[in-house]
Chains A and B, each alone.
Chain A
Amino acid sequence: MAQKVIAGVTVDVTEEGYFTNPAQWTRELAAEIAKEEGVQLTDKHFDVLNFIRERFAKGEALTIRSVGNSGIIDIKGFYGLFPGAPMKKAAKVAGIPKPASCI
């Protein structure tokens, strides 16, 4: 397993940079990872990140649509916060493993 030093803290990550242990996540780390992705975090970002972390903790599937239906933000807004590939970027910043869409 790979490790990465973010803002002076060592965390366990996959080769693609996704956390393997969500417990290692902090708001400060999130801000650093977001910067690497070219994203400046706002309160709205954190609302979304918290939702994603809660859902993950409950073992529930995560999709762009489920975030869009969360009542926190719509899909267009989600793309606005994390441009390009919102689910993947948000998962990385939220410190959870890469969401595999169910097959």
Chain B
Amino acid sequence: MKKLLILGAGTGGTIMANKMRALLERDEWDITIVDQFRTHYYQPGFLFIPFGMYKKDDVVKPKTSFLPVGVNIIFQEIDRIDGMNNHVLLKDGISLNYDFLIIATGTRVVPEETPGMKGPLWHKQVFDFYTIEGALALADFFKTWPGGELVLNIADMPIKCPVAPLEFVMFADAFFVERGLRNKVNITYVTPMSGAFTKPRASKVLGNLLAEKNINILSDFYLERVDNVKKVLVSYDEKEVPFDCLVTIPVHKGDPLIGRSGLGDEMDFVKAHKHTLQSDHFPNIFVIGDAGNFPTSKAGSVVHFQADVLTENLMCAIENRPLTDAYDGHSNCYIETGFGKGALIDFNYDTEPLPGSFPFPGIGPFGLLKETRMNHYGKLMFRWIYWHILLKGKEMPIDSKMTMAGKKM
């Protein structure tokens, strides 16, 4: 029996298990997937939790519900990959051999990277919403908060879903307006980037939206530490920002197992080819999603587009053919803008987000780079699509390659 081993049963690992089980003969190929946790989190749902729009139950399901029959599932922490000998060592000492390996171990937030972040105010006045614990603690805090300085800070790039912090402040604006508290809440968006977003046209549109909503932007702020006594953020060049409630997007890193295996960069992201998704170190190791050092968004939509390319290239590698498919950096994000509206951006490695309509030119139904009600429904629908279509690796009416059709230059 030949062996395909998948590390991580999150979005990418689950999709690949489904796709590859459908393609590889059962009597020739053994497929095994390993993850440390039994629960699958719908991470985009974390954004809705602090505002009481989703509860915990809306974002959790058992991982096993999404994995196909004929795939071995092991729940155990992975210790390291030994690429020279084609095996993976688990924490309990078990060793697994493979012919091909897919790394889908994602990224995690590391508040410990920033001095003072996990200090006495952690989950009291300093919150993250990128973990279920943080999102729930913040929901509790907001229930009785009388108002004050609400500061959102991005500690560093890259982060998962780079629009989520923008959505957060726009939701916060709507939330406090509806509570009649907006005049008591001052909202500031503090970012290490030079504007609301990195790509110029989207940055301008989104920056204007924030200004309309009376949300302040402080750009080029690179966080050094959190001072729990003075309740201020301090940057490396000694700028200070006071807060009563700090919502932080902590530094992101890959899993430490990547570093231990010698396959990553200094942030433990797997070094891999941005088009073929093959590891820089071993031709029988491939990477999907947040775990890679790909210069595009760390997002579920990226994982979904990469899955098509990876399936193709993995089949090429298995059949000893040159890798024929190339991932173009395609990413596609709904952006919640509050009050029942949303925006949508679609871009790749070379083309920045542009205005237009999506996915059907001139028709939509979604509008690119503008606020519409339909875009908001798109985001809400995404949760259903995620659980029922995306994870199962089924076809969607969106091409994995970005298209210029429907976009206006």
Name A residues whose Cβ lies closer than 8 Å to a Cβ of B: 59-61, 63-66, 69-70, 75-76, 79, 83-85, 100-103
Contact = CB atoms under 8 A, between A and B. Distances in A.
Contact of B236 (A61, A66, A70, A76): A76
Q: 6 tightest A-B contacts by CB? A: A101-B157, A69-B266, A102-B158, A103-B162, A103-B198, A79-B236
Given A102-B294, A103-B158, 17 more contacts: A59-B274, A61-B293, A63-B157, A66-B266, A66-B267, A69-B267, A70-B266, A76-B224, A79-B237, A85-B220, A100-B198, A100-B199, A101-B198, A103-B157, A103-B197, A103-B199, A103-B296
B198 A63 contact: no
Interface of B is mostly: loop
B296 A101 contact: no
Nearest to B235: A79
Interface of A is mostly: loop
Interface in B229-257: 236-237, 251
21 contacts: A60-B271, A60-B293, A63-B157, A64-B192, A64-B236, A65-B156, A65-B267, A66-B265, A69-B267, A70-B266, A76-B236, A79-B236, A85-B220, A101-B192, A101-B193, A102-B157, A102-B294, A102-B296, A103-B157, A103-B158, A103-B296
Interface of B: 156-158, 162, 192-193, 197-199, 220, 222, 224, 236-237, 251, 265-267, 271, 274, 293-297, 331
A65 B197 CA distance: 19
A60 to B, nearest CB: 7
A22 to B, nearest CB: 17
Contacts of A66: 265-267
Contacts of B224: 75-76
B266 A64 contact: no
Contacts of A84: 237
A61 B270 CA distance: 12
A78 to B, nearest CB: 8
A57 to B, nearest CB: 14
